[in-house]
Amino acid sequence: MTDSQNNVLHLVEEQRQVVEDYLSTLAYRKETSVSNQDALRDAIKAELKSKNAVLIAHYYTDPSIQELAEETGGTVSDSLEMARFGNNHEAETLVIAGVKFMGETAKILTPEKQVLMPTLEATCSLDVGCPAEEFSKFCDEHPDRTVVVYANTSAAVKARADWVVTSSIALEVIDYLDAKGEKILWAPDKYLGDYVQKQTGADMLLWNGSCIVHEEFKSRGILDLKNVYPDAAVLVHPESPASVISVADVAGSTSQLIEAAKVLPNQQLIVATDQGIFFKMQQAVPHKDLIVAPTGGSGATCRSCASCPWMGMNSLDNLLLCIKQGLNEVTVDPQISFLAKRSLDRMMNFKREQKS
């Protein structure tokens, strides 16, 4: 194993500890009272209006934030749709409830607008596990490969890439590049990369990164849960290990899983991704029973029931503060932004051509 790989693994292990520390404090966190929540919501609505701002939330944020985004004319979606919504919206300020790379992507695609976040400390293990300098060296070692990176990366990593993809379009892009005879250097998620490689048969060299939330799912736990709910369909995100994907009825991005929930005839759905998705999924299928897939164990029990701790750092309290005081503004170096936008534009143009 190279020094570079060791450094990355060390960073990922550090992030695992961050998650464990966060989870250990959950039991001691006080719930905001209903009356205080209502007051916060009213104050946020007023600030959004007065600042000509729009709230854009990711599927994995707290339901209270997702609900508020929809009530105020914002949106709840995946990272790319969040950025595109902000680009097309008339608001002068975009308030991004999610993790840092999402705010960066919004700023790259809409540089003329102010982009605020409830916190800039909310990160992602895929982002942290793919440091720009280490990744650039890795790319330099394989100059014959087309560099394709997942959206869950920093602006600097996107700037080093030829293409950026989301989980919803990764298969199509890699199929396209493979048909042209191109060899791929893929980063950062090794599980998503492995899934795409198996589906397409492309020549792919994988960076050794992972989502520490999806990595916790176990096939044994899901199969045990299937014994309890034999008629349930299993929905998983392809950031999960191959053994988990192998027991799925559907593997797909957040938006694809919500669409699958609508189409599947099953009245019970075992869902193996971040619990935040349940807010929009239940809206889509109010008549169906959504079951949380277990994590961190071999049986049908739930130790941490997948929930990204960094997404959990977004709260109504810090949301209000960031809008009211203009805190946590996202900035991206202009040169990095220019290069990253080039890679993002390739994906968006590809998607546009697919639809036409």
pLDDT recorded at residue 212: 86
* Cα 290 from Cα 297, distance rounded (Å): 20
Do 118 and 261 share a domain, yes or no?
A: no
pLDDT recorded at residue 6: 64
Do 56 and 72 share a domain, yes or no?
A: yes
**Domain contains 135:** yes
Given pLDDT bands bounded at 50, 70 and 90, which one contains residue 297? very low
> Looking at residue 326, what DSSP letter applies?
T
Do 110 and 244 share a domain, yes or no?
A: no
User: Mean pLDDT, to the nearest integer, of 263-283?
Assistant: 97
pLDDT recorded at residue 26: 45
**Domain contains 20:** no
Do 89 and 164 share a domain, yes or no?
A: no
pLDDT recorded at residue 209: 94
Given pLDDT bands bounded at 50, 70 and 90, which one contains residue 165? very high
CATH code of 268's domain: 3.40.50.10800
**Range in 227-231, 295-299, 323-327 with the lowest mean pLDDT:** 295-299
Give me the percent of the chain exceeding a pLDDT of 90: 79
User: Mean pLDDT, to the nearest integer, of 3-17?
Assistant: 64
Do 231 and 203 share a domain, yes or no?
A: no
Q: Is the pTM of this model over 0.85?
A: yes
**Domain contains 266:** yes
Do 200 and 348 share a domain, yes or no?
A: yes
* Cα 347 from Cα 79, distance rounded (Å): 13
pLDDT digits (tens, 9 = 90+) for 192-248: 999 999 999 999 999 999 998 999 999 999 999 999 999 999 999 999 999 999 999
- Taking the alpha carbons of 87, 70, 279, 96 in that order, is the dihedral positive or negative? positive
Continuous H helices in 117-245? 125-128, 132-140, 155-160, 170-179, 190-200, 219-228, 242-245
Res. 319: pLDDT tops 90:
yes
Res. 286: pLDDT tops 60:
yes
pLDDT recorded at residue 29: 47
If you write DSSP's letter for every residue of 84-111 in order, what string do you get? Answer: HHHHHS--SEEEEES-HHHHHHHHHH-T
pLDDT recorded at residue 138: 97
Q: What is the mean pLDDT of the chain?
A: 91
Do 104 and 162 share a domain, yes or no?
A: no
Res. 167: pLDDT tops 50:
yes
**Domain contains 145:** yes
Do 131 and 206 share a domain, yes or no?
A: yes
> Looking at residue 217, what DSSP letter applies?
B
Do 77 and 111 share a domain, yes or no?
A: yes
pLDDT recorded at residue 301: 42
- Bridge partner list, 184: 146, 204
Res. 79: pLDDT tops 60:
yes
* Cα 224 from Cα 241, distance rounded (Å): 17
**Range in 58-62, 176-180, 291-295, 344-348 with the lowest mean pLDDT:** 291-295
**Domain contains 24:** no
**Domain contains 26:** no
User: Mean pLDDT, to the nearest integer, of 165-183?
Assistant: 97
Give the domain extent around 240: 214-292
- Taking the alpha carbons of 117, 120, 122, 126 in that order, is the dihedral positive or negative? positive
**Domain contains 182:** yes
In the chain, the number of structural domains is: 3
**Domain contains 275:** yes
Measured CA angle at 212 (ends 29, 100), to 5 deg: 75
pLDDT recorded at residue 304: 45
Do 133 and 202 share a domain, yes or no?
A: yes
pLDDT recorded at residue 354: 82
Q: Are 65 and 316 in contact (CB under 8 A)?
A: yes
> Looking at residue 162, what DSSP letter applies?
S
Res. 328: pLDDT tops 60:
yes
pLDDT digits (tens, 9 = 90+) for 95-141: 999 999 999 999 999 999 999 999 998 999 999 999 999 999 999 99
Given pLDDT bands bounded at 50, 70 and 90, which one contains residue 337? very high
Do 114 and 251 share a domain, yes or no?
A: no
Do 206 and 257 share a domain, yes or no?
A: no
pLDDT recorded at residue 352: 86
